[in-house]
Structure 1
């Protein structure tokens, strides 16, 4: 058994309510509130120690008066040294302070008066000693730790939090390690009785503490419940407090119990964004982004993402910060056009940002524009710059995903032969096939469709046919078809609707119907896998119905994303009529409205088709 565990086994940790009163220490994140000892009236020595302007002045007073100094004087001397050193006004280095004989005298006299000081004073002294770099195995530090060990069950919640913070800054010793093990246990026991449920500062401190500890669910729920009650009582949070709450929650495993806290806290953060640095805001966004998933959607706030973009623009934080922000938006699928315009304007004003820019930054910009299917006002200028840039020629695959880059440029209608050549090399394509990553397969199929439909002059760059067939066969669509039964009912039966078809270029189509003149459905005589194999009279119309799910749109609005929009364009270019149906919108309809909704969408497309026929013939 280790020394620290042996020591811990002898600690008397009480789990009952104590009556000892101790002053709290407010601690949030990594900050503590200094506690000033009560001054004695007309104590000139104490006043002098408070008002000196350098560490040397402190030591001059100590050298003359050490024999008459009581515990208040000694503690004030330590406090003054801490304040001066932290503010940069000590005029002596930490090493010079520790080597001064009067500092040694202060430590000896503090040890002599140790029984006369209270817990708050002990914590203050320990904070100073730790800050100045006094070794954890020194006599004075060990003496203070022994005293705190003796009163461990009388520590308040905030004192526990503060003590552990100070201990984490100290070197390992058996006593220090034992206290680090014991304090979380004491914290849980004390919190049941001593948590001030009306003190939101204390609750926020406790939340931060448990975010770093493996505490019981009961302890976590008590803190979260207390926090929710405070937030519901119209308590105003500062930006720092809101940030601390969100960071603490993100440090813990995702849990639905955090939903009401996040939803109540984010508005305060938004309201106080101007009080925080951009680094703090960006870190908050990143932490929430990492926790988001369809299972826990409440970690995402569209309004917060928009406001961060607005903050960045208002403060004119520049191209690079704009790119970092766009990268986070990309991961979330969030679109914010003003930020895109801002970054694009920076490129327009400084063409080198693209022409000779960092390949990863240019890649992020291209992907952001393509994925949101938005073209900023500066797009024509940017498009020329992207086409001319040589930044991708020697970039590493770790910096830029070549296949995604090429797919993105296809969506943007930018055809850079050097990029095509790099990503369509046979050995690179083989590595993509081996990985069998769904997104990689989609990127390749986007490139394939673009080349063969819009840019056949690049067809010679495509890999051999068997590779193409392998990609087409590997891509599997969704397996559920919620529109199938309603379509069959509307059109007169299952023979009039073919589901789960695809093209030889890798498009997947949920439903296919054939309409003759007048908009009447035509029955399918046999089941086909590929759309190209259907036998259809020239005057008949092939209608493709695509069910668009949430991932086909930006997360914060119903704007079809770039890859979905491109898929529709390539099908239309092959002569098919495409009807995209938003599943979320369709499911929001009453049952009696669903079939008329589908029939109306088909009718509109039929009328458009007939107008085209009239023009042609």
Structure 2
């Protein structure tokens, strides 16, 4: 079979000088494109190709059958018919016929009305003829048609180093200033489909620069659909902050309500870029409009949107969290009764940001009651997601006893090596649910595993480890022998990152009259981190204490004295939406109280929201309520 060249390969092109893009301005980059990649202009190359083939670039004269030919091309029902027409009428085809032939091939192949594979079209001799004809006529087709031809050529799979691809790209390069923003975006997509070549790489580097040059001049601020498409492009390439700001401002200035598809596109684009507070108003607008048009989207769209926002959420970039949107996604799932698996996926996502939805917990437990195989056949990552979500707070859903029994009887959980499972967290969460599975315990408390875990130094891993100790000590003392003595919390806690600040310290010292009454930054021998400890004698008078104490167990407490431990709880200690104490924090408080300590948790978010003159009285009143006695308050508070 004769090798098909799609119109002769041109000479090899020189390697692009990428440093030019860094050193020169944008206009210079575009101006330099012809010199970078070609020895001659595109028109010169075009004439050289025509000359070598003995062709003629002028449009052929119309014959009596030309209009009929166009109709035949339009009405062709399969690619084979199109190629046959090309073969039989090759000599009289003009540029319009060529474009219609390409258009018909693309449409028929794309919609599935094809009797040949795309690869067969690529290798078909009549398609090669069509490409050669396109090469001869390419000088007289319009810019839009050139881009459309490149689209079809790309779709069929013609190599990037073929003559026809080079010719089309050169023609587009020559009309670079005539491109509109949509042209640039589509061309960026097309060249992304081609294998690397000097000219292809030139376009890949230049197109984002061209987009930025044209953006301030050619942007249509009245069309939010187009603006959303431009923002999507910005999220995929490295545009300047100024260009992104232009797009964000334009979308914010628009008073047009976004439809569901456009709102979703904007949210996805914002989550695909490096976060900045500047995005917050636009994200809020897009979410609100998405909620209005939520019926325009399917659950796959909603779930993907939720996933993107959840993965982008951090304390610093909290605007990626929208409580109403999260709960709306959950309600959609329940209302459409999408089933156990979708429910577990949703638990996994919202559990990641400690969002609690009791209706979803009830729904999943109900599905497990209706079909126990949902749990017995579930993989370890699904059970992990359920356990994490169920242990976030003290709430236990409907049919919890049934679900708990299914989890208890689930075999070989630890045999699956799932990357998403943090085994120390899995074990700690099971303990919070009063479930002690030997295989998970063995894996989570393995010496090699713990050693590698603690070397990473994440406080969350230490906290989960201490939760296991505290839970077993309180609820299952008969299992205490399984705890690894090599990693006793008394030694391990020194590896934790210290509490960074103690905002209550100065107010406590001033309220009680001296810094000698307030111990700061303490720990317990089973892993508790304590912000402050205060010793009181009868009558509510504070007692001076030894400042060289590290463990609360080492504080000397006389029979007539009372010791109060104060924990400054930050937002991370509470669930994101319901503001309930997280299960692990509640366990920590309970274990201290079981050991006989009086513990006062102080919500720092509430305390810091008070005016300065309210903070000390607030603390003193909280201490008074906890100790059930009047507290001797310093007379210097108001001074």
Report deviation, 1:471. 1.5
Q: Cα deviations across residues 363-412 of structure 1 (Å, max 9, x unaligned)?
A: 22111211244321222222222222223253447464332222112222
Classify 1:3/1:390 alpha carbon distance in 2 versus 1 (closer, same or farther; 3 Å).
same
Which one of the candidate residues 311, 318, 323 is aligned to 2:344?
A: 323
Q: Provide the C-alpha distance between the structure 2 equivalents of 1:360 and 1:95, rounded to a whole number of angstroms.
A: 41
Length-normalised TM-score, structure 1? 0.84
2:210 aligned with 1:186: yes
SS of residue in 2 equivalent to 1:13: helix
Report deviation, 1:413. 2.1
Equivalent residue for 2:586? 565
Equivalent residue for 2:483? 462
Which one of the candidate residues 16, 19, 23 is aligned to 1:5?
A: 16
Classify 1:466/1:553 alpha carbon distance in 2 versus 1 (closer, same or farther; 3 Å).
closer
Report deviation, 1:241. 1.9
2:223 aligned with 1:202: no
RMSD: 3.2
SS of residue in 1 equivalent to 2:601: strand
Q: Provide the C-alpha distance between the structure 2 equivalents of 1:373 and 1:284, rounded to a whole number of angstroms.
A: 29
Equivalent residue for 2:501? 480
SS of residue in 1 equivalent to 2:415: coil
2:408 aligned with 1:384: no
Q: Cα deviations across residues 317-346 of structure 1 (Å, max 9, x unaligned)?
A: 333332232222222222222222222222
Which one of the candidate residues 138, 145, 150 is aligned to 1:126?
A: 150
Equivalent residue for 2:139? 115
Equivalent residue for 1:520? 540
In the TM superposition, 1:110-509 aligns within 5 A as: 110-230=134-254, 234-396=255-417, 398=419, 400-464=421-485, 467-509=488-530
Report deviation, 1:51. 3.5
Q: Cα deviations across residues 387-440 of structure 1 (Å, max 9, x unaligned)?
A: 222232534474643322221122222233444344334444444444443222
Equivalent residue for 2:599? 578
Equivalent residue for 2:9? none
Whether the 8 Å CA contact 1:8–1:182 is kept in 2: the answer is no
| Greater mean alpha carbon deviation, residues 415-424 or residues 323-332 | 415-424
| Greater mean alpha carbon deviation, residues 579-588 or residues 350-359 | 350-359
Classify 1:424/1:170 alpha carbon distance in 2 versus 1 (closer, same or farther; 3 Å).
closer
Q: Provide the C-alpha distance between the structure 2 equivalents of 1:226 and 1:146, rounded to a whole number of angstroms.
A: 33
Q: Provide the C-alpha distance between the structure 2 equivalents of 1:159 and 1:148, rounded to a whole number of angstroms.
A: 10
Unmatched 5+ stretches in structure 1:
16-41, 610-617
Classify 1:225/1:317 alpha carbon distance in 2 versus 1 (closer, same or farther; 3 Å).
same
Q: Provide the C-alpha distance between the structure 1 equivalents of 2:510 and 2:567, rounded to a whole number of angstroms.
A: 18
SS of residue in 1 equivalent to 2:161: coil
Q: Cα deviations across residues 213-255 of structure 1 (Å, max 9, x unaligned)?
A: 223333332223223222xxx2122222222222223332223
Whether the 8 Å CA contact 1:7–1:175 is kept in 2: the answer is no
Whether the 8 Å CA contact 1:188–1:215 is kept in 2: the answer is yes
Whether the 8 Å CA contact 1:14–1:189 is kept in 2: the answer is no
Equivalent residue for 1:594? 615
Whether the 8 Å CA contact 1:354–1:362 is kept in 2: the answer is yes
Report deviation, 1:486. 2.8
SS of residue in 1 equivalent to 2:531: strand
Q: Provide the C-alpha distance between the structure 2 equivalents of 1:192 and 1:284, rounded to a whole number of angstroms.
A: 30
Whether the 8 Å CA contact 1:424–1:463 is kept in 2: the answer is yes
Q: Provide the C-alpha distance between the structure 1 equivalents of 2:159 and 2:446, rounded to a whole number of angstroms.
A: 61
Which one of the candidate residues 109, 117, 131 is aligned to 1:85?
A: 109
Length-normalised TM-score, structure 2? 0.82
SS of residue in 1 equivalent to 2:413: coil
> Number of matched residues?
579
Q: Cα deviations across residues 6-50 of structure 1 (Å, max 9, x unaligned)?
A: 6998998359xxxxxxxxxxxxxxxxxxxxxxxxxx955544433
Q: Cα deviations across residues 272-304 of structure 1 (Å, max 9, x unaligned)?
A: 344334443333333333333222222222222
Whether the 8 Å CA contact 2:160–2:195 is kept in 1: the answer is yes
